[in-house]
Structure 1
Amino acid sequence: MDYQEAKHKYIQAWGTLGSSWGINKAMAQIHALLLISTEPRSAEEVMDELQMSRGNVNMNLRALMDWGIVQKEHRIGERKEFFFAGKDIWELARQVSKERRRREIEPIIKVLNQVQDIDGNDEKIKEFKKVTSDLKDFSLKVDGVLDKFTKADQNWFYKLLMKM
């Protein structure tokens, strides 16, 4: 397999994996390209390489920056902006976990706290409170694990995996 074929295959696979992270395919493909690039890339270079529209690339670059996994750089004498992704995969995993925690776990815990405060004592209400309480307990445990993961170093994580 030559470099171009391998690169294309990797970008396509990373794009597919992106949906598991909760991001769209184009966003993940842009991230994949930036991860393997040796130099920061302009939006135009990303557009040409991935055959995407300017709007799609710009929107997804902004979203990747919102996630904290892509940064922007300015060069003296250049009007273009250049984008790059950090190469530390451990830091990438921590940042994605931190962002998913903020976007998914924290909001559901807030809702589950709010819905626990309902009046009544019939069977439907008891069942509702039990299920939402169990979901809240589970969500709090997941939140705790994600919190430890985002604050921990690699050694802690690998030791935890070995115990499992």
Structure 2
Amino acid sequence: MKLEDGKNQFIQAWGSLASQWGISKSMAQIHALLLSSPAGLSADEIMEQVQLSRGNVNTNVRELINWRLVRKETVLGERKEFFVADHDVYSIAQHIMEERRRREIEPVRLLLNQLKNAKIEGNAEEVKHFQGIISDLSDFVSQMENLMNLATKINNNNYLKKMIKAIS
């Protein structure tokens, strides 16, 4: 298989998985392209290789930078900016966990805590059931958040690798 064919298959597969991760196909394809490129790429190069508009590329690259999966670099003598992906798989996983915790887990935890502390009125049996479920979910989400916090605070990737291998 030619390298270009392999890269294209990877970019398409990464893009297809995007909806399961809650991100756009375009963002995932750009990430896959930058992951598979040892050097930085300009917006023009990204546009050409993934066949996306400039606006789409700029929006998604900015979002990848927000997720700390990509960084912007300048080259002396070049007017263009180049975008480089973080190639450390464990660092990528940590950044994704941090961002998903911030965007998804925290809002749910806050809602569950509000509901847990709210005075609920209604049928006593149904209120008791609802409060029990909310309490259990709140405890579970807090435990998952603690686990994610622990995983993201580990700065030594070798330790994280060992921990993942031990539980798999």
- Same fold, judged at TM 0.5 (above): yes
| Length, aligned pairs only | 164
Please state if 1:97 is matched with 2:101. Answer: no
Alpha-carbon RMSD: 1.7
- CA contact under 8 A between 2:41 and 2:82: conserved in structure 1? yes
Secondary structure, counterpart of 2:38 in structure 1? coil
8 A contact 1:149–1:157 mirrored in 2: no
SS in structure 2 of the partner of residue 78 of structure 1: coil
1:64 aligns with 2:68: no
Q: Distance in 2 between matches of 1:10 and 1:100?
A: 23
- Following TM superposition, by how much is the alpha carbon of 1:143 offset from its aligned partner in structure 2, in angstroms? 0.5
Residue 30 of structure 1: CA displacement? Answer: 0.3
Aligned-pair CA distance for 1:103:
0.7
CA 1:38–1:22 in 2, change beyond 3 Å: closer, same or farther? same
Q: Is the 8 A contact 1:34 1:40 kept in 2?
A: yes
Q: Write the mapping of 1:6-85 to structure 2, written as runs, cut at 5 A.
A: 6-85=6-85
- Residue from 131, 138, 141 that aligns with 1:139: 141
Structure 1 residues 118, 108: CA separation in 2 closer, same or farther (over 3 Å shift)? same
Deviations along 1:118-142, one digit per CA (max 9) or x if unpaired, are: 2437222212211111111110111
- Aligned-residue offset at 1:163: 4.5
- Tell me the TM-score normalised to structure 2 length: 0.90
CA contact (8 A) 2:42 2:83 kept: yes
Structure 1's consecutive aligned runs of 4 or more residues displaced over 6 angstroms after TM superposition are none
Give the SS at the match of 2:82: strand
Distance 1:142 1:110 in 2: 14
CA contact (8 A) 2:112 2:138 kept: yes
